[in-house]
Amino acid sequence: MQTRNQPQQTVIRQMLLSSSQVPTLPLNVKAPLKWSGGKAALVNDLVLMLPDKIKNTYFPCCGAGSMFFEMKRRDLFSGKAFLTDKNDNLVNFFRVLRDHPWELVSMLDLRHARYGGGGRAIFDLAVDELHSDQSTDLQRAASFWIYNKTASFSAVSKEIRRNAYSDVFATEKDISRQAIRYLLTFGKMLEGTVIENECYTQTFRRALLDGTNSFTFIDPPYFEVGDGLYEPEDKEKPKDGFDFAKFSRACERLLGEHNLMVTLDANESSLEKLNFMKQYRHSVFYRGTKKYEDEQVAINYLPKFWEATTGMLNWEDISPDWAA
């Protein structure tokens, strides 16, 4: 329900917001969203494996973008960043966050004031807005963030579903005013980035044209689960399953002048897909299944801190002979 003085309240809120500082992110806050297969827990290690001197940097299949935000926070590239993904709600959220962070925060603050932190009512409103074709991009972005904070971990990167609500995640902590305020910092970090709703193959094409001193980080769907975590569950809808053979060929084409880092699971088939690169195996704890699983990091260059990091990271070098 709209109250009569709501427009006035919005203006006052915006004035108060814009007179305050953009907060500094705590070191453990890596991305504005949680995401299936997200790399937030690994980025502190991954940045140690980066090449020296990065100009432009590409993040196809960017998901919540934790690697981009970590590289930005540490000032690890000097040129432009390209964030791309095939999930259109995600891409709209990042664009609104880049272009209208104050408006987004103000809208979320108002909803927080009206509904409190988590809870079914704020979730239901978010689902309605995400399903409605009358919603503005700003409303969709606010609703997508709320949905992300109140839905279960495995549901956030798929289609919007009313039964995705999770009591565990929909807590005051997940939709705190502080969490809303951190969006201003993430928005600032996105200034000047190119954000596109496109297939990774298009982003690889951009990167190919760029060449020397540019870098691509890609964390595609995992071989074991394929597109399952990112595709609609609707059996009627055709699935455009992730084609790993095509992905492998695309990576091979990108090498040469270009620096590439790929993270993927580490079973026999997925290791074979990247066996033309230097490959490292390590163990990762999955929050979903609460189990440790093997993953690989594949690169085609010598990292800046090579000597220091290889021992320290405790990653097993499983590179084919030529790359050892």
- Report residue 201 as tokens: 């193959």
User: Pairing mode, if any, of strands 259-265 and 194-197?
Assistant: unpaired
Cα-Cα-Cα-Cα dihedral sign, residues 59, 62, 67, 69 = positive
> 179-184 long-range CB contacts below 8 Å, 24 or more apart?
179/149, 180/105, 180/108, 180/109, 180/112, 181/23, 181/105, 182/23, 182/25, 182/29, 182/32, 183/32, 183/97, 183/101, 183/104, 183/105, 183/108, 183/145, 184/17, 184/22, 184/23, 184/101, 184/102, 184/105
Q: Where does this chain touch ligand SAM (CB under 6 A) — which range of 109-117, 167-175, 216-224, 294-302?
A: 216-224
| Residue 270 and residue 222 in contact, taking contact as beta carbons nearer than 8 Å | yes
- Smallest distance from ligand SAM to CB 195, Å: 13
Number of chain positions touching ligand SAM (CB under 6 A): 20
- Smallest distance from ligand SAM to CB 157, Å: 5
- Smallest distance from ligand SAM to CB 246, Å: 9
The reply on whether position 35 binds ligand SAM by CB under 6 A is: yes
Helices 137-150 + 120-131 axis angle, to 10: 140
The reply on whether position 145 binds ligand SAM by CB under 6 A is: no
Helix (H) or strand (E) holding 186: helix 177-189
The reply on whether position 200 binds ligand SAM by CB under 6 A is: yes
Nearer to ligand SAM, 32 or 117 (CB): 32
The reply on whether position 39 binds ligand SAM by CB under 6 A is: yes
Q: How far apart are CA 153 and CA 165, in angstroms?
A: 10
The reply on whether position 221 binds ligand SAM by CB under 6 A is: yes
Nearer to ligand SAM, 85 or 129 (CB): 85
The reply on whether position 187 binds ligand SAM by CB under 6 A is: no
- Smallest distance from ligand SAM to CB 65, Å: 6
Site for ligand SAM in 46-105 (CB under 6 A): 60-61, 63-64, 66, 85-87
The reply on whether position 242 binds ligand SAM by CB under 6 A is: yes
| 8-state DSSP, 52 | S
Nearer to ligand SAM, 71 or 96 (CB): 71
| Residue 140 and residue 108 in contact, taking contact as beta carbons nearer than 8 Å | no
Distance of CA 239 to the CA centre of its chain: 22
Binding mask 255-274 for ligand SAM (x = CB under 6 A): --------------------
Site for ligand SAM in 153-172 (CB under 6 A): 157
User: Pairing mode, if any, of strands 278-286 and 291-299?
Assistant: antiparallel
Q: How far apart are CA 285 and CA 40, in angstroms?
A: 12
Q: Where does this chain touch ligand SAM (CB under 6 A) — which range of 10-18, 36-44, 183-191, 250-258?
A: 36-44
The reply on whether position 199 binds ligand SAM by CB under 6 A is: yes
Q: How far lies 269's CA from each of 252, 255, 266, 273, in Å?
A: 16, 21, 8, 7
Residue nearest to ligand SAM (CB): 63
- Smallest distance from ligand SAM to CB 69, Å: 9
Q: How many C-beta atoms surround the C-beta of residue 196 within 10 A?
A: 17
Nearer to ligand SAM, 64 or 183 (CB): 64
Nearer to ligand SAM, 182 or 230 (CB): 230
Q: How far apart are CA 164 and CA 56, in angstroms?
A: 37
Considering only 219, 280, 296, 298, the residue that binds ligand SAM (CB under 6 A) is 219
- Smallest distance from ligand SAM to CB 158, Å: 9
Site residues, ligand SAM (CB under 6 A)? 35, 37-39, 60-61, 63-64, 66, 85-87, 157, 199-200, 219-221, 230, 242
